[in-house]
Amino acid sequence: MIAVCAALILSACGPGGQSPTVTLPPSSTTPQPGAVGQSGDAPEGAPAIGGALTHPGVGSLALGDSSLLDPPPDAVRAVDGIPVALLVPLTGRLAGPGNALLEGAQMALFDVRNTEVRLVPIDTGGNALGAEQAAREAVQRGAKLIVGPLLAESVSAVRPIAEAAGIKVVAFSNSSRVAGGPVFLAGFAPEEQVDAIVAHAMAEGRRKFAILAPSNDYGNVSVDALRDAVTRRGGEFSRVAFYDPEALDFSDQIRRISDYQSRVQALAQQRAELQAIGDEASKRALKRLEILETWGDPPFDALLLPVLQPQTLQILSAQLAYYDVDQPAVRILGLQRWDSFPSLASEPGLIGSRYPAARSSFRERFDQRFAQLYGHPPSELSALAYDVTAVAASLAGDGRRPPKYDVATLTNPDGFIGAEGLFRFTEKGLAQRSFAIMEVRQSGVALIQEAPASFDLPQPALTPPGLPSADQPGTVPPVPSS
């Protein structure tokens, strides 16, 4: 078994064991923003970067070693080190996400401290043609591994070039259709997120599932994933409706999927029957019906909303409540993307909603260190690039041994723990992840189910002791939702 350890937070984890941690290097040794330019060369005076690689028969650096607390050597990273190409959009409309990826990668390279690794950022321009040209440049510059690109179409353009050169690609895309062969995807695939939240919902007794999805690739993948996850577990895939991702009104889809008109008619029939009886009990019942708009629940008890924009979720939650699709009768479910949305708790219709999220005991520390270094909080892309680059640097060898970028090493079944939690690559080229379950509450977002600590361990208890759900309010320290 091959274990990979990085100086900050990345480590391989064995079955049933706890992953070690390490004290961060002193702040005086942190790299400066922009320390690795587009040429991939480090500026004069940049700190050296080292790391540890362990495998059978070879000793490893203990992560508790006090030497890691010392400032790194004064030597500049070797220009002739092992090239790892970073293909990201540094210009064009995606320059913002591209620079977020670059920042995370730079930080990882510093933390792993492998002086044999040379990060080579190459601009893709955010399009397939630029990615193809960047891949050719990476091959010409002797890259042993390609990290990136970001978009699925760019990955498709890079794939034949990498395959011909015998180079593996670890891309940031989450589109499973471009995985396989030399390509491994580190992005959060919708299929896995759907599977995690369905498993949770069925564990709490939900059986009939519906979905309101955008009419695009993301929506189609989410629908297929929900159908598969539900039927595989013996549940019922009840309803599906698609909407224009640019729309601002979803009334028609909600009315149709929830049988709203039938429930309105059922209420009218109920009132007519009570009026026909006319006794005192019937009159009291009629009085109670005055506050209702419909009679009966929708034909599902769980509704998945794989939305891409927070404003879409805001409108959906309000309109669902208006058409009597209410919690807890219907559990509203989301995906990992929800975790980046601000102010979830400010939407009354979302209180009680649940979604999967990557959670790591290292994430708070990563966030603090990143903000200290760059002056702003990290995005999900920065954390993703950190994890992937840390894996790349840790597997690069130490000058005496060659890089271990083969399939067997990349698909280490124990996986790795990084800023985005536990993950491993499958032979199909997808990232398998361990998800926690979050719940939206009036006071914020709370963790109600820990992420499994190992791929060999079962899901933790539905709700940890002393952690009541939104359906049964209690005092619990929430995660702020702002």
Residue 282 has a pLDDT of: 61
Between 41 and 256, the more confident residue is 256
Instruction: Name the packing angle between helices 380-394 and 95-112 (round to 10°).
Output: 40
Most confident of 38-52, 152-166, 285-299, 395-409: 152-166
Q: Where are the domains of the chain?
A: 3-187+360-433, 191-359+435-449
Does the N-terminal peptide bond of residue 25 adopt cis geometry, omega within 30 degrees of 0?
Answer: no
pLDDT at 460: 58
- Work out the pLDDT band at 273, boundaries 50, 70, 90: low
Dist CA 446 CA 469 (whole Å): 9
Q: Which residues contact 67 (CB under 8 A, 6 or more apart)?
A: none
- Per-residue pLDDT averaged across 441-451, rounded? 93
Coil/strand/helix, residue 272: helix
- Please give the structure tokens belonging to residue 439: 């719940």
pLDDT of residue 51: 32
* Mean pLDDT for the stretch of residues 361-365: 86
Pick from 375, 454, 378, 456: nearest CA to 422? 454
248-263 per-position pLDDT tens digit: 999 999 999 998 888 8
Q: Tell me the pTM.
A: 0.76
Mean per-residue pLDDT, 420-430: 94
For the chain, what is the mean pLDDT?
Answer: 80
What CATH architecture does domain 191-359+435-449 belong to? 3-Layer(aba) Sandwich (3.40)
Residue 390 has phi, psi (to 5 degrees) of -65, -40
Please give the residue that has the higher pLDDT: either 272 or 64. 272
Q: What are phi and psi of 257, to 5 degrees?
A: -70, -25
Q: Which pLDDT band, with edges at 50, 70 and 90, does 166 fall under? A: very high
CB 261, CB 294: distance < 8 Å: no
CATH topology of domain 3-187+360-433: Rossmann fold (3.40.50)
